[in-house]
Amino acid sequence: MNKDMRLLLVAMLVVAVISVAASSLLSNYSNNNSDEGGDVPPDVPVWPITALDLAGHKVSINDTIKRVAVTDLSTLEVFATAYGEGWEDMICAMPEDYSSKDPSLGSHISKTWPKLSSLPTIPDLETAFASNPNSVAKAIADAKPDLVILPKAVTDRFPDSLDGFYSALDQAGVPYFHMMFYALGLSDSVSGDNIGQLCKLLQKDVRGDEVCLVYDLAVALIKDRLKNRTDTIRFYVEAPAADPSVYGTVSSYGYPEVDIIGYNIQKDYGGGENTSFDLAKMVECKADWILLVGTPYYDGKQLLGYYVDEDKESLSACMAQYLAREGWSDLDAVKNKHVCLCYGELRYGIGGIYDLFKLANTVDKTLVSDDNLQTIVKQLNKHLPWSFDGTFTYVME
């Protein structure tokens, strides 16, 4: 039996374990659940139900949640993943920028659930928190939600500006729950800290257990396979700037799949964000792979992401602009054709599993085969709110 076949059998075994464990979890509740999604016991809950969010904030609710305000695309995805079937009927307010953050996904949401487009909207958080945080609090309170979900990755950027925002929510009696996969994605306990705690508030504990199990076992599988590697893959990661000739934001922050599979060379230069990279540093860092991560736009066209058709001509033209940087033709990663454009926006929820598997598949198919990748897609399709068949990565030709 060759190595790839053994890896495939391991993957199949993990999927089988996931299925059996999930079935066991469900069977434990099958005789005690109501007809509402199979997650809510018929016994009257003991109020308040309390959970701890990732900001260390204790969230308490005193009644069944029926109206939820989501504040950006990531909170929409996490809530829908946690709630499951019927999630769209729970939404009472949408982020006004959901269709611009990822136009292809935004268009799909509008077409599939048109009533979401007519709901009250929450202002773009980045802009409003910088200028008028109370406008966000007012929009949330006006929607009269039983719960609002906030992206901690955004609120963390305004540590000294949001006291009035939180006070306004408290005065309006709106419970708030902070979530964040993003930089914490793929780390130990992140699924339980997000999906698990949110499902507790939603009285969806069984679903929470099942989703967390799928996520945690998939991450554990990759980590186990990496133990057999004798070398370390060194990555240079860049969130592309508007002008490909200018270095963008090079960062180890927010790309946890890189930290699992190999080593992000940004750590050699102080960590966090660093826009000071130049040719000399690129030569010095000796990257094995150059990753251009994000949702790059080229001539106004979205090149990567959900529901985007692969346009080789546009992708090749975009890649050529980065490769034209001074001295890049002499870099080992370029000589080895180890440069790729890849979509990095799945890391805002459990879709980060796919980011991890896709990157591993791109750099070393003995870690994740094409069949393994499709297995993960099938697992994610059972839990993500929108259909998912993977996103493509464009590798230098």
Domain boundaries of the chain, sorted by first residue? 37-205, 230-395
Quote the pLDDT of residue 245: 83
Quote the pLDDT of residue 185: 85
The top-level CATH class assigned to 230-395 is: alpha beta
For the chain, list residues with pLDDT below 70: 1-44, 253, 271-273, 295-299
Tally Cβ neighbours within 10 Å of residue 96.
18
* Domain pair 37-205 / 230-395, same fold: yes
Quote the pLDDT of residue 277: 85
Quote the pLDDT of residue 391: 86
Distance CA 349, CA 75 (A): 9
99, 107 Cβ separation under 8 angstroms: yes
Nearest CA to 239 out of 254, 225, 229 is that of: 254
Query: 16-26 pLDDT, tens per residue?
Result: 454 444 333 33
CATH of span 37-205: 3.40.50.1980
Quote the pLDDT of residue 35: 38
119, 45 Cβ separation under 8 angstroms: no
Nearest CA to 178 out of 87, 67, 57, 50 is that of: 57
Query: 305-345 pLDDT, tens per residue?
Result: 889 999 999 999 999 999 999 999 999 999 999 999 998 88
Quote the pLDDT of residue 18: 45
Tokens coding 253: 């922050």
Nearest CA to 222 out of 57, 372, 108, 36 is that of: 372
Quote the pLDDT of residue 241: 78
Quote the pLDDT of residue 28: 35
